[in-house]
């Protein structure tokens, strides 16, 4: 299905015609066919949305927390009713296998709405410290910029806490995968979000993105995307001293302990990398294994990767869909070739499409062995189904290799929990996952170093959208 209003913007409670006349074809990456066009806004479109959010802020931010929670509960109710629609549009716009679109992509929006509601109900919004009243209140007008790889996850992780904090906002989803964002905007309208509180303008980064991150009437920017774009956004926001929350790139290590079941741990690690076609910023793309078990790890990784079913996203058995675009396909091909050229051992996969697929941006599940931290495939975020396996000598060497990166979004450890705990404390990452745990939507999500700043999910996300006010003398 294609949502209505793909060539309009949602501003001040209405679907409006853009000032800009620029359009972009939206491609289904599994077929390379253009399924619709999306409008790309300009400065005037962005300004209209920002000023609508500014005009709505004063009235919205003084509503009660209970009122705002009730609205988000209504959004959740409508989301659940349209759950299959969201799964279908994300399968179309980004090539997600339909089973994955239901169980992960659409599910992420649902569970983050639930987690934000629960956190808001449990949060202490005001309290006394001595004679001072401490108050958490909305920061103001927020520019929300979300990526194509987890559309509903990132839209909900920004919109829901911003709403509950008492903020107004302008959302710019990725222009590569805009269908789900437009569908979400219609849901917001149907839920009764007051005029101007939520606005959506589609556009690209250099256009709408630059305008909303630099505009003097915007108080905060929340951005998820590449580290390169994140640094540009921080620079654009700096002259007006906006708060900038960023969830950026990653090159997450996965330490397989000597005490782990190597075959099981490696197979689980391969599947974790390949899910979402490798297009997750926290994917465990660098697997560190004991040097004396390296050959065993490569054999287990090959078996797991070769078992992955690649193909039509609408086939219920498909595990690996296409990459999102030709640009992404060409980048991943280039990096796979770099791994070969720099002397890494190609265990399985390689350049080109799978043999039985002649269209769509499909990539062969690829595993390299004998990798070290000097190689491009160990340093650069590939954002595709490519795993680099690196041998280590002892746990100190493993930790040193794991931390030897400009990124720090996530890290993984596989092995007995008591063996893993002391290693987890030594890793410089915002999230450390022990033995591939279930997704915890109440845990903080965000990175160290060049993986960003700020934290998302549950109360962590709400706090990012709040100012803290001290009213001194309140209790005198």
Q: pLDDT digit string (tens) for 233-292?
A: 999 999 999 999 999 999 999 999 999 999 999 999 999 999 999 999 999 999 999 999
CATH of region 9-248+451-471: 3.40.605.10
CATH superfamily label, 253-441: Aldehyde Dehydrogenase; Chain A, domain 2 (3.40.309.10)
Interatomic CA distance for residues 269 and 265, integer angstroms: 6
Q: Which residue has the tokens 């890494």?
A: 344
Question: Residue 389 in contact with residue 366, Cβ under 8 Å?
Answer: no
294-306 and 262-274 are packed helices; what angle lies between their axes, rounded to 10 degrees?
A: 50
Region 309-320: mean pLDDT is 96
Average the pLDDT over 305-312 and give the result. 97
368-380 pLDDT, tens digit per residue, is 999 999 999 999 9
Delimiting residues of CATH 3.40.605.10 domain(s) in the chain: 9-248+451-471
Name every residue whose Cβ is closer than 8 Å to that of residue 221 and which is 6 or more positions away in sequence.
142, 143, 145, 212, 213, 233, 237, 242, 243, 244, 245
In this predicted structure, the answer to whether residue 476 has a pLDDT above a threshold of 90 is no
Ranges of beta strands (E only) in 173-314 are 198-200, 220-224, 243-247, 253-256, 286-290
Helix or strand holding residue 342 (H, E): none
- CB burial readout 123-147, b (16+ within 10 A) else e: bebeeeeeebbbebbbbbbbbbbbb
CA distance 431 to 323: 25
CA quadruple 207, 212, 214, 220: dihedral, nearest 10: -150
Locate 185 and state its tokens.
């905007």
224 bridge partner residues: 247
Lookup: tokens for 127: 């309290």
d(CA 223, CA 225): 6
- The CA distance from 120 to 117, in Å, is 5
Nearest CA to 262 out of 294, 297, 286, 292 is that of 297
As annotated, the active-site residues are 247, 281
Q: What is the pLDDT of residues 19-76, one digit of tens each?
A: 999 999 999 999 999 999 999 999 999 999 999 999 999 999 999 999 999 999 999 9
Spatial distance between the Cα atoms of 467 and 464, rounded to a whole number of angstroms: 8
Mean pLDDT, range 398-426, rounded to an integer: 98
Please, where in the chain does CATH 3.40.309.10 lie? 253-441
pLDDT of 82 higher than 90? yes
Q: pLDDT tens digits for 100-124? A: 999 999 999 999 999 999 999 999 9
Interatomic CA distance for residues 220 and 141, integer angstroms? 7
- So what's the pLDDT on residue 104? 98
Identify the CA nearest to 172 among candidates 218, 208, 216: 208
The candidate with the shortest Cα–Cα distance to 345, out of 301, 307, 403, is 301
- Structure tokens belonging to residue 430: 């915002």
State mean pLDDT over 326-342.
98
350: left (phi over 0), alpha (psi -120 to 50) or beta: left
Q: Could you tell me which residues are beta bridge partners of residue 141?
A: 168
Q: Report d(CA 106, CA 93) in Å as an integer.
A: 13
Nearest Cα to Cα of residue 167 among 199, 200, 139:
139
Residue 429, burial from CB neighbour count under 10 angstroms (0-12, 13-18, 19+):
buried
Tokens 């700043």 — which residue? 453
Whole-model pTM: value is 0.97
Across the range 450-464, mean pLDDT stands at 97
Four-point Cα dihedral 63, 188, 84, 437, nearest 10: -40
Classify the C-alpha dihedral 85-87-92-98 as positive or negative.
negative
pLDDT confidence band for 1 (50 / 70 / 90) = confident
Split at pLDDT 50, 70, 90, the class of 427 is: very high
pLDDT, averaged across the chain = 97
Q: Please, are residues 329 and 361 in contact by the beta-carbon 8 Å criterion?
A: yes
């Amino acid at each position: 299905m294609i949502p209505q209003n793909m060539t309009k913007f949602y501003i001040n409670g209405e679907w409006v015609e853009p000032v800009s006349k620029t359009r972009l074809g939206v491609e289904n990456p599994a077929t390379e066919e253009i399924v619709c066009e999306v409008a790309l806004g300009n400065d005037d479109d962005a300004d209209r949305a920002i000023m609508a959010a500014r005009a709505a802020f004063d009235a919205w931010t003084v509503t009660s927390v209970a009122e705002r929670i009730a609205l988000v509960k209504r959004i959740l109710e409508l989301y659940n009713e349209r759950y299959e629609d969201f799964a279908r549009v994300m399968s179309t716009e980004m090539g997600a296998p339909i089973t994955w679109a239901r169980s992960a992509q659409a599910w992420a929006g649902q569970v983050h709405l639930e987690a934000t509601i629960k956190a808001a109900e449990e949060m202490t919004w005001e309290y006394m410290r001595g004679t001072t009243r401490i108050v958490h209140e909305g920061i103001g007008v927020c520019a929300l910029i979300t990526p194509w790889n987890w559309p509903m996850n990132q839209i909900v992780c920004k919109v829901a806490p911003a709403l509950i904090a008492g903020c107004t906002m302008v959302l710019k989803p990725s222009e590569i995968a805009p269908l789900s964002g437009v569908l979400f905007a219609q849901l917001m309208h149907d839920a009764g979000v007051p005029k101007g509180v939520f606005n959506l303008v589609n556009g690209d980064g250099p256009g709408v993105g630059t305008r909303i991150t630099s505009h003097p009437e915007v108080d905060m920017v929340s951005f998820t995307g590449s580290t390169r774009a994140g640094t540009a956004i921080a620079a654009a926001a700096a002259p007006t001293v906006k708060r900038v929350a960023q969830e950026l790139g990653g090159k997450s290590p996965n330490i397989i302990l000597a005490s782990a079941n190597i075959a099981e741990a490696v197979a689980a690690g391969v599947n974790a990398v390949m899910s979402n076609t490798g297009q997750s910023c926290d994917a465990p793309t660098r697997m560190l294994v004991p040097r004396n078990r390296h050959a065993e790890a490569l054999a287990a990784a090959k078996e797991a990767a070769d078992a992955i079913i690649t193909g039509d996203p609408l086939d219920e058995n498909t595990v690996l869909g296409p990459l999102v675009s030709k640009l992404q396909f060409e980048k991943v091909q280039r990096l796979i070739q770099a791994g070969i050229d720099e002397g890494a051992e190609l265990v399985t996969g390689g350049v080109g499409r799978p043999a039985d697929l002649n269209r769509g941006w499909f990539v062969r599940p690829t595993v390299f062995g004998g990798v070290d931290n000097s190689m491009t495939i160990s340093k650069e975020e590939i954002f595709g189904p490519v795993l680099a396996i690196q041998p280590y000598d002892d746990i100190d060497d493993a930790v040193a290799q794991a931390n030897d990166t400009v990124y720090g979004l996530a890290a993984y450890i596989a092995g007995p929990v008591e063996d893993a705990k002391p290693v987890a404390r030594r890793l410089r990452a915002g999230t450390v996952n022990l033995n591939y745990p279930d997704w915890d939507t109440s845990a903080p999500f965000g990175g160290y170093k060049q993986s960003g700043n700020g934290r998302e999910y549950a109360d962590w996300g709400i706090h990012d959208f709040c100012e803290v006010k001290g009213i001194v003398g309140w209790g005198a």
